Amino acid sequence: MLAYTVRRILVSIPVLIASTFIVFLVVVNSGDPVANFATSRQPAPSKAAVAAFARHIHADQPAVERYWNWITGVLHGDFGPSVQSNLDIGHDLFTRFRVTVTLVAAAMLIALVLAVIFGVFSAIRQYSAADYSITFVGFLFLAMPVFWFAVLLKQAGIWLNEQTGSTFLGTIGEKSPYLEVDTWWNEFTDHMGHLILPTITLALVSFASWTRYTRAAMLEVLGSDYVRLARAKGIRRGRVMTRHALRTALIPLTTVTALDIASILGGAVVTETIFQWHGMGEMLVTAATTIDVYRLMAWLLLSAVVVIAFNLIADLLYAVLDPRIRYD
Amino acid sequence: MTDTEAAGAAGIEVPRADQEFSVKQRTQTQLILRRFVRHRAAMISLVVFLLIVLWAFIGPHLWHYSYGKFTPDNSQAPSWKHPFGTNASGYDAYAQVMRGTQTSLKIAILIALGSTLVGAVWGAIAGFYRGIVDAIMMRIADLVLTLPLLAIALVISSRSGGSWYWIAVVIAGLTWAYVSRVVRSTVLSLREKEFVEAARALGASDARIIFRHLLPNALGPIIVNATILVATGILTETALSFLSFGVQPPDTSLGLLVAQAQTAVDTRPWLFYIPGAFIIAIALTINFIGDGLRDAFDPRQQRVRQ
Amino acid sequence: MTTSQGVQAGSGSGAVLEVEDLTVEFPTEDGVVRAVRGVGYRLERGESLGIVGESGSGKSVTALAVMGLLPATARVRGSVRFEGTELLGLSDARLSDLRGSGIAMIFQDPMTSLNPVYTVGYQIAETLLRHNPGLGGRAARERSVDLLGTVGIPSPQRRVDSYPHELSGGMRQRVVIAIAMANDPDVIIADEPTTALDVTVQAQILDALETARSETGAALVLITHDLGVVAGHTDRVAVMYAGRIVETGSVEDIFYTPRMPYTLGLLGSLPRMDRDEERLTPITGSPPSLLHLPPGCPFAPRCPMRQDVCDHDEPPLRTTAHDGHLSACHFAERLVDTGAGEIFDAVGADAEALARFADTESEDSV
């Protein structure tokens, strides 16, 4: 297992290089930050200033050389220059990563727990009114644009705050800019209050698709011969559900969860934008607007690492949960 | 299933080879159609979806306001004159939603068609040749799958200038890999079937086997995936447009309309709710249609035990 | 006595399992599927009964109805009594106390019958501990090893920790048999226990089943489509067709003096070496749909002896000249001393089937 893990990590390195190289070419060709600099500033910068800017962001180098310099720089902790002066991309990235991780982790956890509960319930009560309702709500959530739901939820949060006269539900930012009483408890509740609405938003789509997945997996296992044999052995229904059906039905869900991480990161971008978090979402949108090549690359590199890591974790988890899979 | 041996031994029936294939083929299509028509949610969805499409593409020719011309009435609630109200500058929201729906549908359908076409051929070739060709082609597809769709689309489309087909091409360029995986696995199992063997024995070329035998038989999963891609497409495009990286004014899309209305949810709620409801309606009906098609093509769930 | 009261053996009161007028219906989108239509049998202690029929004849559904394992949508009527206790309508909790300890079941496909994520030892111990809570983990494990040895698994001490995917199909079916015999049941229902296995393994599995029977003294219901299996391993036979028992009697009755054209057809499509027939005589056509069953005898469309009365009246199960031998045919008497070749058209025998029969014949002792 350890040898397998090491091998997988080694194999992911060329994948990471190929992936970032393609992305780098795409990013470099997606806009011209130098022209942007020359035209958008008031007063218009001198030719020399434009040339200096181009040199500063390495826009005067050929793409392959730029990529090489970038990737070797990253290995030394240097993520390259930003179009914004005095911005340390590496520091910026990790500060924002911490903000986003909280949101993504909370949303995934809630989505997963609720999806298993509702999916299993739906499967056990197949074709009941509850099953139909859960299925319909699932379809509705899958069809709901995240940004639309987020705006709606934000409005609801504001309304609720007005009704209760509290400011518990934060609708702007990941925390209050300052706290009157700066104890750890206040800080904690403040964070929680700000986390609730964005988490619900981001959990929504994953919850819907994972519920449907759990239901289907559960139905398949419930119709399986080994569940029937377990019942024929005299095992009571509750134990058959947990020990035999759920235990096996959950195995493929780990893979599905891991593969969805890329789309969850996309959802986080939209969610953070609407709730005005200073996370990776804002970073991506700002970087794309200002055509900030190295900032975009930092974002995409981190997301690629996260996606690859999740795939690896899913595969390892699969081997732990399913004795039929052995990596040697 | 269980007693095939006994059934075979007890009742040997010699099918007439000349008739059997065409008859079976026709009943198969009929069965799929019948199963789909029986799926009530899917049928209702199909009707609603077609009505939305007709409305979005024919409606603008019949409606007396244009999406790009403002009227003297601004910030009006829905009325007979302006069924969806007007916005702060006086644009008629009915005309704008119609136009936005049209643009969003065009993009979504182009995404579905483009990525299905590329993905199906890609997956079919990889699955048919297997070996090194398959390995290389699928590694490329895997690579595309690791890219976060929204982020990459956001980066690339900042250069699109808001043209609808460019947005569609960008998104389709990232979603074809899903299709290729599905088609590849279907083709991998199909290529072992007797009819492929037979075609090969008759001297059919590789291209003919792929396009005349393998792809048509993989049509079920391909169609189901294409419908799902319409929903993915519309949700991605509207998200991009919402973040102002998609369709640009003066043209409009459902996502852009929601974005423009997000600060006016309290004052002019109709501007926010109506385009949102259209996105949901389109994605919802598409998902139900896809569900109905899946059931129709793969009726495993209705299997009755002996 | 109802017409469905099928298999009757003697008058002893030692019946462990009595099934009476059992009907099972499945409502589907296309209408009601009448899978079982009035089946009855009576199983004496230690006795063994073979149930034979084509796929879709309702034999597995009957077994699942007895176990109370049909899906909730199934409509079950009639009576199933285990040692005098009525099982239909019993709560699931009460039924599960009985399943595995009173009545055990073996399913057709050993490749899918065992849970892939637990060791075979765990799956045997699970049923042991379920019905003997005081046993303790260590004792359950020891007993599991014993059981694996009994059903003929080599080095059971080691195999007890194997996962199902590490065993062959034949070995897995032995594990399923070990699970079935674990709690000394009074009845074992084996639903096509050898169908999914290689021909070479089938005889070994039947031996293991015999061992299980002799160890536990359980009565056996052996469901199969293979008359050869029935001949060597059961005392009595019930032939099912379209959800009913159409003929029942002792093995000798069924094999030597069949009184139902369908049984005759089944025998005719089986290559035999103890008769002088050179040709196999298949039954043409396929079983009727249980969705829209026409009136009259369900076998009539395929029956070479069909007459007008067969299209209107479904014949009840009646005693023939022989006591305990019942048949559901209007013309049962005419079949006395009739061979399949005389009423069914013959086609050439196939060598493979002959070889297989020779295989089973060598161990059959009828």
Q: What is the ipTM score, two decimals?
A: 0.84
pLDDT value for A86:
79
Smallest CA–CA distance, residue A2 to chain C, in Å, is 22
pLDDT value for C120:
93
Residues of A in contact with C117 (CB under 8 A): 247-248, 251, 321-323
pLDDT value for B5:
35
Lowest average pLDDT, out of A79-83, A111-115, B46-50, B206-210, goes to: A79-83
CB-based contact, C172 to chain A, within 8 Å: no
Contact between chains at A155 and B266 (C-beta distance less than 8 A): yes
Residue C187 scores a pLDDT above 90:
yes
Looking only at the bridges linking them, the beta strands covering C326-327 and C318-319 are antiparallel
Residue A294 scores a pLDDT above 60:
yes
Report, as an integer, the average pLDDT of C115-130. Answer: 92
pLDDT value for A56:
79
Q: Choose from A124, A219, A222, A233 for mutation: most chain C CBs within 10 A.
A: A233
pLDDT value for C12:
46
pLDDT value for C270:
67
pLDDT-based confidence at residue C366 (cuts at 50, 70, 90): very low
Residues of B in contact with C270 (CB under 8 A): 9
Which range among B5-9, B298-302, C150-154 has the greatest average pLDDT?
C150-154
Interface of B with A in 197-216 (CB under 8 A): none
Tell me the C-alpha to C-alpha distance, in Å, between residue A41 and each of C100, C169, C212, C325: 82, 76, 90, 104
CB-based contact, A128 to chain C, within 8 Å: no
pLDDT value for B304:
32
B241 sits in which H/E element? helix B219-242
Between residues B232 and B76, which one has the greater pLDDT?
B232
pLDDT-based confidence at residue C6 (cuts at 50, 70, 90): very low
Between residues B177 and B69, which one has the greater pLDDT?
B177
Contact between chains at A266 and B158 (C-beta distance less than 8 A): no
Do A170 and A190 touch, CB atoms closer than 8 A? yes
Q: What percent of chain A has pLDDT over 90?
A: 17
CB-based contact, B259 to chain A, within 8 Å: yes
Report, as an integer, the average pLDDT of A152-178. Answer: 79
pLDDT value for B7:
35
pLDDT-based confidence at residue C189 (cuts at 50, 70, 90): very high
Report, as an integer, the average pLDDT of A308-318. Answer: 85
Please give the Cα distance from C1 to C3 (Å, whole number).
7
CB-based contact, B14 to chain C, within 8 Å: no
C222 sits in which H/E element? strand C219-224
Smallest CA–CA distance, residue C359 to chain A, in Å, is 30
pLDDT value for C285:
75
Residue C340 scores a pLDDT above 70:
no
Report, as an integer, the average pLDDT of A150-177. Answer: 80
Which of the other chains make 3 or more beta carbon contacts under 8 angstroms with chain B?
Answer: A, C
**DSSP secondary structure of A184-236:** HHHHHHHHHHHHHHHHHHHHHHHHHHHHHHHHHHHHHHHTSHHHHHHHHTT--
Question: Which residue of chain C has the CA closest to A251?
Answer: C117
Q: Residues B86-103: pLDDT tens digits? A: 776 767 778 888 888 998
Smallest CA–CA distance, residue B243 to chain A, in Å, is 8
Label residue A195 exposed, middle or buried (CB < 10 Å: 0-12, 13-18, 19+): buried
Residues of B in contact with A273 (CB under 8 A): 243
pLDDT-based confidence at residue B161 (cuts at 50, 70, 90): low
When CB atoms are compared, the residue of C104, C107, C131 closest to A225 is C107
pLDDT-based confidence at residue C350 (cuts at 50, 70, 90): very low
Report, as an integer, the average pLDDT of B16-24. Answer: 40
Question: Which residue of chain A has the CA closest to C191?
Answer: A229
What is chain C's mean pLDDT, rounded? 82
Please give the Cα distance from C247 to C326 (Å, whole number).
6
Lowest average pLDDT, out of A81-95, B157-171, C254-268, goes to: B157-171
Do C114 and C175 touch, CB atoms closer than 8 A? yes
Residues of A in contact with B265 (CB under 8 A): 151-152, 155
pLDDT value for B14:
36
Interface of B with A in 132-171 (CB under 8 A): 142-143, 145-152, 154-156, 158-159
When CB atoms are compared, the residue of A226, A233, A244 closest to C99 is A233
Residue B8 scores a pLDDT above 50:
no
Residue C215 scores a pLDDT above 50:
yes
B15 sits in which H/E element? none
Interface of C with B in 99-158 (CB under 8 A): 108
Question: Which residue of chain B has the CA closest to C350?
Answer: B9
Question: Which residue of chain B has the CA closest to A308?
Answer: B146
Looking only at the bridges linking them, the beta strands covering C187-191 and C31-44 are unpaired
Report, as an integer, the average pLDDT of B238-259. Answer: 85
Smallest CA–CA distance, residue B299 to chain C, in Å, is 13
Residues of A with CB under 8 A from a CB of B: 15, 18-19, 22-23, 26-27, 30-31, 139-140, 142-148, 151-152, 155, 219, 262-263, 265-267, 269-270, 273-274, 284-285, 288-289, 291, 296, 299-300, 303-304, 307-308, 311
Report, as an integer, the average pLDDT of B204-226. Answer: 85
pLDDT value for B306:
24
Please give the Cα distance from A125 to A118 (Å, whole number).
10
Number of DSSP helices (H) and strands (E) in chain B, helices first: 13, 0
pLDDT value for B196:
82
Contact between chains at C54 and B5 (C-beta distance less than 8 A): no
First and final CA of chain C: distance in angstroms? 31
Smallest CA–CA distance, residue B13 to chain A, in Å, is 31
Q: Residues A315-324: pLDDT tens digits? A: 888 888 888 8
Report, as an integer, the average pLDDT of C24-36. Answer: 86
Question: Which residue of chain C has the CA closest to B303?
Answer: C28
Instruction: Say how many residues make up chain A.
Output: 328
When CB atoms are compared, the residue of A236, A251, A321 closest to C93 is A236
C276 sits in which H/E element? none
Q: Choose from C29, C225, C283 for mutation: most chain B CBs within 10 A.
A: C225
Domains and CATH numbers, chain B: 29-297 (1.10.3720.10)
Residue C348 scores a pLDDT above 60:
no
Contact between chains at A229 and C105 (C-beta distance less than 8 A): yes
Contact between chains at B7 and C108 (C-beta distance less than 8 A): no
Q: Residues C47-95: pLDDT tens digits? A: 999 999 888 788 889 999 999 988 888 899 999 999 988 998 888 888 9
CB-based contact, C265 to chain B, within 8 Å: yes
pLDDT value for C148:
93
Closest CA to B119 of B186, B188, B182, B170: B182
Question: Which residue of chain B has the CA closest to A216?
Answer: B301
pLDDT-based confidence at residue C4 (cuts at 50, 70, 90): very low
Smallest CA–CA distance, residue C357 to chain A, in Å, is 30
Amino acid at B251: D
Backbone CA torsion sign across C298, C301, C304, C306: positive
Please give the Cα distance from C188 to B295 (Å, whole number).
38
Contact between chains at C60 and B304 (C-beta distance less than 8 A): no
pLDDT value for C274:
58
Q: Residues A34-86: pLDDT tens digits? A: 777 777 777 777 888 878 787 777 777 888 888 888 888 888 888 888 877 77
Smallest CA–CA distance, residue C356 to chain B, in Å, is 13
Residue C314 scores a pLDDT above 70:
yes
pLDDT value for C179:
93
Between residues A57 and C141, which one has the greater pLDDT?
C141
pLDDT value for C354:
44
pLDDT value for A90:
87
Report, as an integer, the average pLDDT of A17-36. Answer: 82
Contact between chains at A142 and B287 (C-beta distance less than 8 A): yes
Please give the Cα distance from C29 to C291 (Å, whole number).
11
Question: Which residue of chain C has the CA closest to B12?
Answer: C284
Label residue B93 exposed, middle or buried (CB < 10 Å: 0-12, 13-18, 19+): buried
Report, as an integer, the average pLDDT of A141-161. Answer: 88
Q: Provide φ and ψ at A267, rounded to 5°.
A: -65, -35
pTM: 0.82
